[in-house]
Structure 1
Amino acid sequence: MKVLVSFFAVLVLALVAYAGVEAANLQYLFGVIIPYAAFVTFLAGVVFRILKWGSSPVPFRIPTTCGQQKTLPWIKSSKLENPSGLLGVIARMALEVLFFRSLFRNLRTQLSDGPRLAYGEAKWLWLAGLAFHWSFLIILLRHLRFFMEKVPLPITMIEALDSFLQLGAPLLYMTDVVLLLAVTYLFIRRVGIPQLRYISLINDYFPLFLILGIAVTGVLMRYFFKVDVVGAKMLAMSLISLKPALPEVQIGALFYTHLFLLSVLFAYFPFSKLTHMAGVFLSPTRNMANNSRAKRHVNPWNYPVHVHTYQEYEDDFREKMKGAGLPVEKE
């Protein structure tokens, strides 16, 4: 039921945009007003979430570790698993953000006959997640050419590498295929594993269908139903220059459907789990060095209370301690 609700929600959104352009000529609404509103919502929402996370008190060092902490000189410490300095934290964060290191080390548990709990590798999830995120990033970078009068050399190089197989006309981008396959695998995995399906919610399926809808409409525009690319770039340039104007040529309803789904994704982003893109940098379990043994961290929010020090304790019980044969600092 949750799958169907998410699927039909995305389908209705796509049909609304397509019908609005084809039947009601609402190009300005779907091409200018909604994209601007989505971008403002995205920007304001992400800034709000970051400020809210940044204001959360984290007085103590709570990084997740699975290696030897830095202690004595002759004991080898794990600089990545248990970083004690800034360089170790940066290296750990880079591996986490760029290569999903913790997901690569993820294990799959399964209860087999016996009963016996078995542990196994779970590399397919890591591979699909890595392929999805990198493909999405490369596709976003490729789309920057629509917002620039002169396409920079790095963007041109990315396009050339993405289509180096030289298949078809227009050339087939590998990231288009990889993105579709990765999203499909993530969806099949979510509905195919009973435990995962049980805990999945509508807001787990909705982004998958939304991204799949964006990818499918993009593929249809590039390889099957042609749209006016020059008109699309004119519209994008007018939006980025804050001088919105619809091109005189008809771009096509499929383009506005693609743009509308992308706008929905941008507007939905700050209120969903997708904000882990920004949240990973603010995670205290990742962005802190574990130097608790080398440096004392005092909670600045501690309520001021009187602490009974050892000196006071010894003053109160010195004679009894001497009588019991316990050593004292003062005679």
Structure 2
Amino acid sequence: MNQLRLALVPGEPAGVGPELCVRLVQSARTHRLTAFGDPETLQAAAHALDLPLRLVAPEDDQGRASELALHAIPNAVGVAFGRPDPANARAVIDALETAANGCLGGDFHGLVTGPVHKAVINQGGIAYTGTTELLATQARCSVVMMLANETMRVALATTHLPLRDVADAITPGALVATLRTLHAALRSDFGIERPCIAVLGLNPHAGEAGHLGQEEIEVIEPVLASLRSEGMVLEGPLPADTAFLPARLRHYDALLAMYHDQGLPVLKFSGFERAVNITLGLPYPRVAVDHGTALDLAGKGSADPSSLIAAMATCARMARARSAIMAR
């Protein structure tokens, strides 16, 4: 691989994203990094933090401390930290789509994204359910959401669904597709030759042999048996209340939770500050922070940059892992 090139999108300009980007670049980097966003907002964030920031053209990026290459995408109106304006929704989406197009075109090896305010985007007249969905639509592929920290990786069979809809969404076809994507990503993006995936049951005690639900017997177990015959290493379906015990976690490269609040509260409790949100299945690595826009903290200098720093490091590792496999 030539020098690693990553794209960075700060996200909602009135939130903490811009100032986290400023903190991110206070140290020198070995890779090239280009931000997609509004120059005035980034400079205002640096001023609020009383930190130096020099914006340069992407071709002039040398990875120096306090220096950030910028592909300028101006906001429609000025930004007041803590007070998002729907008029800037188009600029946020343009930044995401332009950076992702650069990844699809080979200009960048990966994409790191800051927090986006879904309600403000929709108030701006743009139908938006999330950046994961936007990037999947743009790349025309199916994706899987996975959150990770230093302790565990947790992928989701379903994401943002009402609890009463979850069971109907866990079909054999959907579960097979999710596990294939997860398995392939652990190999290509994390360099794990033969990953072991723990698959959680849907019901308490993984259905208790059918006494607490039939989904394990009718859907999950047949899918796991079929994929094991192809060589995948799959444990489960496991009761969710014991699958996260440290003694068990040591044996798993990832866990697949059946729904959002089955797995993510455990992950966030184990290390929220350094957790990241990874989109599996895209043609390029994409890693996001695992927190919101934190409007109440914006511009005050107290927002923790740990998740963005972890997202950048994770994206770089994933990009290098992909490159190493392609070079074989």
Tell me if TM exceeds 0.5: no
TM-score (norm 1): 0.29
Higher relative contact order, chain-length normalized (CA < 8 Å, sep 6+): 1
* Structure with greater proportional helix content: 1
* Structure with greater proportional strand content: 2
TM-score (norm 2): 0.30
